[in-house]
Structure 1
Amino acid sequence: MSPKVPHEHKEQRQREILMASKKVFAQKGYEAASIKDIMDATSISRGGIYAYFSNKEHIFLSLLEQMMEDNRTELDELLQKNNGSVWKTLLTILDDYRKAEYEDTENLFSAAIVEYGITHWRKPENRDYIEKRYEGAAGIFSVLIQRGVDAGEFKPIAPVDDISRFMISFLDGLAISAISLTHGLMRTGKQMDLFESTLKMMLNVQKPDLSQR
């Protein structure tokens, strides 16, 4: 009879596999990455990986789910760091995009996400998942912006949900362009300045306290 593995150990091992897999997908792309690559990156046997995940796609989708949860946690931490100011929190997020390196793991993993979406969207079950993920990301921004509205920071000139989708369209477009172009060619800093000004206008920021930026 096999010994029972503590739940905490299972979660830790799953997370180790996911974090190592993220680097593999970033370096090789979704299609080119293999279970063997993930085995090499984790030093875990094929059977050990299959004990947690059924295949490469299961690993990839689980990684996207984990990243969504991590984003929510990081957002809560940013809000605390910025003393609950939603506008300062948004500025921190935009500054992170300004500072992103051309070939860092996050940017390269974005390429794998785009690759997966392009090559797998025709499957009904995958299309549903991609749409669900988009709605989840839009929901995170909508909740954040609404918090600013409720606190009196914003008096938006457009529906909150529309503004959140506008943000995703711009930021995703920037990330996709950064896959194959340099920030110098894209003039990322200038684009971010324009986006910040536009976002400030759309949100109709009432308390633009930038002293702690």
Structure 2
Amino acid sequence: MTPVVSEEYREKKKQEIIEHALVCFAEKGFQAATIDDIVKRSKMSKGSIYTYFQSKEDIYVALMNEKTEISTQHLKEELKKFDSSIEKIRFIFDIFKSQAGRSNWIDRVKVHTEFYLHASRDPDLRSLLIERAKHYYINVLVDVLEEGKMAGEIKTTTDSEIAANLFWSMLDGINFQYSALQDHYPYEDVLEEAKAMYIKSLM
């Protein structure tokens, strides 16, 4: 008879697999890392891993969804502390600035970038990323921009969706450069310049 395990136990095992997988993805690259690498690092059997996940893509999607949900909810709560939309935008830039030098964050950026490229070749994964970007990132900033337009802080002619896409494209590009070049890239200075340029374009 198969032993009955609690939901708490299942979630704990899934989390362990996710964390071990992230290390493997960061060390070898998403494309090169295999389920066998995750088995070796986690010291779990392949069968155990396949009990919870169908593939390494499935593992990364679980990781991505979990981290994004938590970080987005936290961001929304932090943004409530600011009355000004411009201050909210400055705050988001500064969150990324505070990540400078954190190796685990650099690893996440590398894995995230690799997965995006991998997903671009898979229609199902690409659809998931499109929905995720809109729900978690674009919509959050669109709300901030619309508030700013209503309050007279931001030009009413601003296309909020275009401006939101531009915002995240800038940050993604800057973060990618930093993850690749690290100390040879003036990350904080570039972010400050991007912040000033972006805000100026809205006012």
Instruction: Give the TM-score taking structure 2 as reference length.
Output: 0.82
Q: Mapping of 1:118-133 within 5 angstroms?
A: 118-133=117-132
Distance of aligned partners of 1:143 and 1:71 in 2 relative to their CA distance in 1, 3 Å threshold: farther
Q: 2:141 and 2:21 mapped to 1: Cα distance? A: 27
C-alpha offsets along residues 124-180 of structure 1, whole Å, 9 cap, x if unaligned? 223323323332322232234435555x37334512211110111100001111122
Describe the SS at the equivalent of 1:26.
Answer: helix
Describe the SS at the equivalent of 1:128.
Answer: helix
Letter in 1 for 2:117: I
CA displacement at 1:201 relative to structure 2: 2.5
Describe the SS at the equivalent of 2:52.
Answer: coil
CA displacement at 1:187 relative to structure 2: 2.4
The answer for the alignment partner of 1:188 in structure 2 is 187
The answer for the alignment partner of 1:197 in structure 2 is 196
Q: 1:143 and 1:23 mapped to 2: Cα distance? A: 35
Q: 1:164 and 1:58 mapped to 2: Cα distance? A: 28
The answer for the alignment partner of 1:104 in structure 2 is 103
Please say if residues 29 and 109 of structure 1, whose CA atoms lie closer than 8 Å, have aligned partners that are also in contact.
no
Letter in 2 for 1:101: A
In structure 1, the gaps of 5 or more residues are 205-213
% identity of equivalent residues: 22
RMSD over aligned Cα atoms: 2.6
Q: Which has the higher helix share?
A: 2
Q: 2:48 and 2:96 mapped to 1: Cα distance? A: 36
The answer for the alignment partner of 1:210 in structure 2 is none
In structure 2, the gaps of 5 or more residues are none
Instruction: Give the TM-score taking structure 1 as reference length.
Output: 0.78
Letter in 2 for 1:154: E
Distance of aligned partners of 1:176 and 1:155 in 2 relative to their CA distance in 1, 3 Å threshold: same
CA displacement at 1:119 relative to structure 2: 3.6
The answer for the alignment partner of 1:211 in structure 2 is none
Q: Mapping of 1:154-169 within 5 angstroms?
A: 154-156=153-155, 157-169=157-169
Q: 1:120 and 1:180 mapped to 2: Cα distance? A: 20
Q: 2:15 and 2:146 mapped to 1: Cα distance? A: 32
Please say if residues 174 and 191 of structure 2, whose CA atoms lie closer than 8 Å, have aligned partners that are also in contact.
no
Q: 2:125 and 2:109 mapped to 1: Cα distance? A: 17
Q: Mapping of 1:77-156 within 5 angstroms?
A: 77-79=77-79, 82=81, 86-102=85-101, 104-136=103-135, 137-149=137-149, 152=151, 154-156=153-155
Distance of aligned partners of 1:42 and 1:144 in 2 relative to their CA distance in 1, 3 Å threshold: farther
Greater displacement, 103-112 / 164-173: 103-112
Please say if residues 88 and 144 of structure 2, whose CA atoms lie closer than 8 Å, have aligned partners that are also in contact.
no
Please say if residues 158 and 202 of structure 1, whose CA atoms lie closer than 8 Å, have aligned partners that are also in contact.
no
C-alpha offsets along residues 89-129 of structure 1, whole Å, 9 cap, x if unaligned? 43333223223335612222222222233244233223323
Please say if residues 87 and 153 of structure 1, whose CA atoms lie closer than 8 Å, have aligned partners that are also in contact.
no
Greater displacement, 94-103 / 28-37: 94-103
